[in-house]
Structure 1
C-alpha cells in the first residue's frame, strides 16, 4: 500500500495538488494542465514557467512585470477567478482605475448602472451596501443630500412623502452622533429647503509601479461579459468598495439610482431607518 502511494502517477488529482508547478511543467509543458493548491492562483511568468501564488502576490507580480494576466487561464479555473476578483474589489488602487474607466466612458457607465440596478432589485442587500457607508459618513451623506436636491424627481418624491416630511421636522432622535448635535438647527439648515447650500470635495489617490498593466487586467475583464458581471457582483457585495466608489463618483451613481422609481423608494425607506442620517437633516418647523 505504501509503494502504491509513492508511485501515484503525476496525472492524478492527488499528486497534482501537492506537486510544485515547476515539476508539473517538466512533465506536461502545458499551462492548461497545471494545477495549484486551493487558495492559490496560477500565473504564467514572463519566462514562460508557471507559478502558484496568492491573489495579492499575483497582482504585485503582474504590476512589476514578472508575469502576464491571462484571462483564459482563470476562466478555466472559476475558484481562482473568484479569489482574484475578491482581492481586486477590495484593492483601492485597482478600483480607482476601474471607476475612472466608467467615468470616462458614458456607455460603459450606463450599462454598468443598468446592471447594478437590476441586481439591487433582485437582492436588496446590494442597495444597503451602497447606502450604508454613505448615510453613516457625515461628509458623504452631505454630498448625497446635495445630489438629491439637484435631482428634480427625487426632490419631489421626498416632498410628496408624508413620513419623510414629518420626520425631517421632528426633534433629533437618539443616535451615535453625540449630545448637543442639534443645537442651533433651524429651518435655514433644512437640507430640503432652497436656501440650504453645501459643497464637498473628495480626492482619491492611486499608485502603481506600472498602471498600464493593471489597466490591461481591467480591460480584459470589461470586454468579457461573464467576467464583468462576476466582478460587479463582488463590488456590490463589498461595502468598503462602495464607500470608495461613492467618494470618487457619487453623482453619476446616484443619478441612475434616483431615476428608477423602485430604487428611489427603497432609498427613501433606508434613509428614514437611519437615525444619524435623519438627525443630520432634522430641524424645527418654524411655521408651527
Structure 2
C-alpha cells in the first residue's frame, strides 16, 4: 500500500486530529501494550468473528498502535491489512512494531478515514475506533464505497455507560463528582452505544444485514491499585490539571480507593460491555 504525502482532514474531524496528533496520541503510543492489555479479553474473539480469509484485503479504521492490523495480516497471509489512524505517534509506533515482528503484509498510514481515497477492500475492521467520526453517516457511506460488493464490516463499539462503570467511575473520582461518563452525542466512546441508532446509521449509509451482538468481558487496568492509578491518572491528566495541589491529592486518593475495590488475583478488573457490530455491502 502506498503512503500518501498529503493527508486531507475533514473539518468535522479537525479537533480529533489535533488531540490525537499531540500529547494524547503520544501517551497512547508510549503505553500501547497497556492499552492492548486492557481489551485483551475481546481481541482474539473479535478477530475470529470478523472472518478474515487467507487472501483478504483488510482495512483497519482507527488502528491505534496496530495490534488488530498486524493480527489481521497474519490471518490474511496471502492478502494484506492496512491500518489508518489520525494519530501520527500511534501510526509510527504501529510501523515500528510491525517491522520488529516481521509482519510484512501489514502497512500503516496517517489518514482521515472519513475522506481518504482508499483502494477497494474485502473487509473493514475497527476495534473501538469507529466511534469518533465528526460526520458518521458521511464516513460510513464513504467506507461502504471502499468495500467490494458483498464485502463485510466488523466493529467493536462500547455499550451504554451504565454497563461500563469504569467510564464514569474514573472521571467522577478524579473530579470529585463534577464529571461523569462522556456524552453519547457527538464523537466519543459512547456515540455508537445505542443499537437502534447504530442500525439506522449504517443502513442510511448503505449497509445491509446489520447485526449487533452483546459481548461482556473484563477490562484490565493494572497489576494492582497503585499500578492502575498511575496509568489512569496519566490518561485523564486533563482533569487533574484543573485542580490545585491539595485537590489533586484528594482526587488520586479517591481513584486509588475505587481501583482497590476492583483488585483481584488477575489484577485490577472492571466489568465492561461492547457491541460486536457486523454488516455487509450489497
TM-score of the pair, normalised by structure 1: 0.22
TM-score of the pair, normalised by structure 2: 0.22
Bigger strand fraction: 2
Identify the structure with bigger relative contact order (alpha carbons < 8 Å, sequence gap 6+). 1
